[in-house]
Structures are given as C-alpha cells and as structure tokens.
Amino acid sequence: MTVKPGWTGRFYEDFELGDVYKHPLGRTVTENDNIWFSLLTMNTNQMHFNSLYASQSEFKKPLVVSTLTVAIAVGQSVTDITQNAFANLGWDEIRMTHPVFAGDTLFSESIVLEKRESGSRPHAGIVTVRTRTLNQHGDEVCSFKRTFYVYKRGAEQIEGIFPEGKAPLTLDQE
C-alpha cells in the first residue's frame, strides 16, 4: 500500500508573475446565507433581509451583502493561493461591480501581480494577487487586490502537523 500525499497548496516558489488560477469551486448563494451573514455581522441594512423594503429599490429584491460576496471570493481562492499563507497583509481596491442576488452562483479567479522574498522572515515570501469574482452569466461582481505572507517550501513551521495514527490504516479495518 502506498501513501499518496494530498494537495498541499502552493508555496512561495510556486508563484510566478502573470499566473492565473481559476479557482475550482463555484458557490451558489442562498437567501439563508445572506440573512445569516447579515445577522452574524450585525448588518442592519434592510436591503439584505427585508423583501418588502428591497422591492421599493431599483433592484426590486434583496441584495446579497457585499462583505459576504468578498468572503466567498477569498474562500474560493484559498485552495490555490493561500493554503500555505500565514498572514494576510492587506486587501486593496475592493470593487463591487455588479449586484449579487440569492440564487447567483459565484466563481473566482486570481492573477499573480507581485512577489518578493521577506526581509524579516527567511522562511516566507510576500505575494500580491488580484482576484475577481464572476456570476453564472460571466458578469464581474467584485474584484480586489490581496497581499499575504506565504511559507516557502520546506519551512519548518509547517512540518509534522499531520498526526501519526496509533494504528496503521489498512484495507481490512472496519
């Protein structure tokens, strides 16, 4: 039996200027997502949870709260760009370019804009990407730049995290 490593994410050395990552998972936003996120973040703007109120607006229905859209975009990008990051350094130029409604399915992609080695952390580098999120029709609904610290391959800080089982995993276990 062979142990095959799972996807461990990209390290500083894997990023190249101009690389584009189409993040693999789409996410359909539900009405419940929008209401719960509004409640969790204490957003009291009725445009996000009151259908009667929203029906009076130009959109005629509730908008998905913009910070939920950004949170989904960031989450979608983790697999490709920040699986091995240990700190976000900033989000810049956040733009909400098209309304998002319950029922929309969001997809995100990122392009590498900059990278440099850290002067204070020899085990890491700093990478900047621009991420954009599209709805199911291809409309860009948001975009932003994101800068983060990411470990270099072999950084001791992330070695040995997966625990060793007290008994080996075998085919005949029940």
**Numbers of helices and strands, H then E, in the chain:** 3, 6
Tens-level pLDDT at each residue, the chain (174 residues): 677 777 889 999 999 999 999 999 999 999 999 999 999 999 989 999 999 999 999 999 999 999 999 999 999 999 999 999 999 999 999 999 999 999 999 999 999 999 999 999 999 999 999 999 999 999 999 999 999 999 999 888 888 777 888 888 888 766
One-letter amino acid identity for 119?
A: G
Could you tell me how far CA 120 lies from the centroid of its own chain?
26
Domains of the chain, each with CATH number or no CATH: 12-154 (3.10.129.10)
Three-class secondary structure of residue 58 per DSSP: coil
Q: Report pTM.
A: 0.89
Query: Rounded to an integer, what distance in angstroms lies between the CA atom of residue 156 and that of residue 5?
Result: 18
Name the residue with tokens 């969790």. Answer: 40
> Tokens representing 109?
């992609």
